[in-house]
Amino acid sequence: MAAKKTLKVKQTGSPIRRPKDQLATLKGLGLGKVGRVRELEDTPSVRGMINKISHMVEIVD
Protein backbone atom coordinates (compact mmCIF):
# COMPACT_ATOMS: atom_id res chain seq x y z
CA MET A 1 0.00 0.00 0.00
CA ALA A 2 1.52 3.29 -1.11
CA ALA A 3 1.68 6.25 1.24
CA LYS A 4 -0.53 9.17 0.30
CA LYS A 5 1.25 12.33 -0.71
CA THR A 6 0.64 15.34 1.50
CA LEU A 7 1.29 19.06 1.40
CA LYS A 8 2.03 21.33 4.34
CA VAL A 9 0.24 24.63 3.83
CA LYS A 10 0.94 27.70 5.97
CA GLN A 11 -1.26 30.78 6.04
CA THR A 12 0.80 33.92 5.55
CA GLY A 13 -1.85 36.54 4.79
CA SER A 14 -4.90 37.87 6.56
CA PRO A 15 -8.42 37.33 5.19
CA ILE A 16 -9.45 40.83 6.32
CA ARG A 17 -10.88 42.89 3.43
CA ARG A 18 -10.88 39.86 1.10
CA PRO A 19 -13.88 38.50 -0.81
CA LYS A 20 -16.09 36.05 1.08
CA ASP A 21 -15.26 33.20 -1.29
CA GLN A 22 -11.56 33.49 -0.40
CA LEU A 23 -12.40 33.35 3.31
CA ALA A 24 -14.55 30.27 2.65
CA THR A 25 -11.63 28.65 0.79
CA LEU A 26 -9.34 29.28 3.76
CA LYS A 27 -11.89 27.72 6.10
CA GLY A 28 -12.24 24.76 3.73
CA LEU A 29 -8.50 24.15 3.98
CA GLY A 30 -8.70 24.30 7.78
CA LEU A 31 -6.94 27.65 8.05
CA GLY A 32 -8.15 30.98 9.40
CA LYS A 33 -5.40 32.60 11.44
CA VAL A 34 -2.05 33.83 10.15
CA GLY A 35 0.73 31.37 10.92
CA ARG A 36 -1.49 28.30 11.12
CA VAL A 37 -0.12 25.19 9.34
CA ARG A 38 -2.12 22.23 8.04
CA GLU A 39 -1.01 19.00 6.41
CA LEU A 40 -3.40 18.20 3.56
CA GLU A 41 -3.71 15.38 1.06
CA ASP A 42 -2.26 16.26 -2.36
CA THR A 43 -5.34 16.12 -4.60
CA PRO A 44 -6.37 18.23 -7.58
CA SER A 45 -9.17 19.86 -5.56
CA VAL A 46 -6.79 20.90 -2.77
CA ARG A 47 -4.30 22.19 -5.35
CA GLY A 48 -7.08 24.28 -6.92
CA MET A 49 -8.04 25.74 -3.54
CA ILE A 50 -4.40 26.62 -2.85
CA ASN A 51 -4.10 28.19 -6.30
CA LYS A 52 -7.17 30.34 -5.65
CA ILE A 53 -5.68 31.87 -2.50
CA SER A 54 -1.98 31.59 -3.38
CA HIS A 55 -1.43 35.20 -2.25
CA MET A 56 -2.40 34.22 1.34
CA VAL A 57 -0.73 30.81 1.72
CA GLU A 58 2.57 29.10 1.05
CA ILE A 59 3.59 25.47 0.75
CA VAL A 60 6.13 24.50 3.43
CA ASP A 61 8.58 21.60 3.13
CA-CA distance, 4 to 44, in Å (whole number)? 13
Q: Is residue 48 part of a domain?
A: yes
Is residue 9 within 8 Å of 40, Cβ to Cβ?
Answer: yes
Q: Is residue 12 part of a domain?
A: yes
β-partners of residue 37 are: 10
Domain with 19, as residue range(s), is 6-60
pLDDT tens, the chain, 61 aa long:
667 899 999 999 999 999 999 999 999 999 999 999 999 999 999 999 999 999 999 999 8
Tell me, what CATH number does 50's domain have? 3.30.1390.20
Q: Is residue 42 part of a domain?
A: yes
Q: Is residue 1 part of a domain?
A: no
Q: What is the number of structural domains in the chain? A: 1
Among the listed residues 52, 53, 6, 10, the one whose alpha carbon sits nearest the alpha carbon of residue 33: 10
Edge-to-edge strand ranges of the sheet holding 6-11: 37-41, 6-11, 57-60
Whether the pTM exceeds 0.85: the reply is: yes
Q: Is residue 13 part of a domain?
A: yes
Q: How many residues does the chain have?
A: 61
Q: What pLDDT was estimated at residue 6?
A: 96
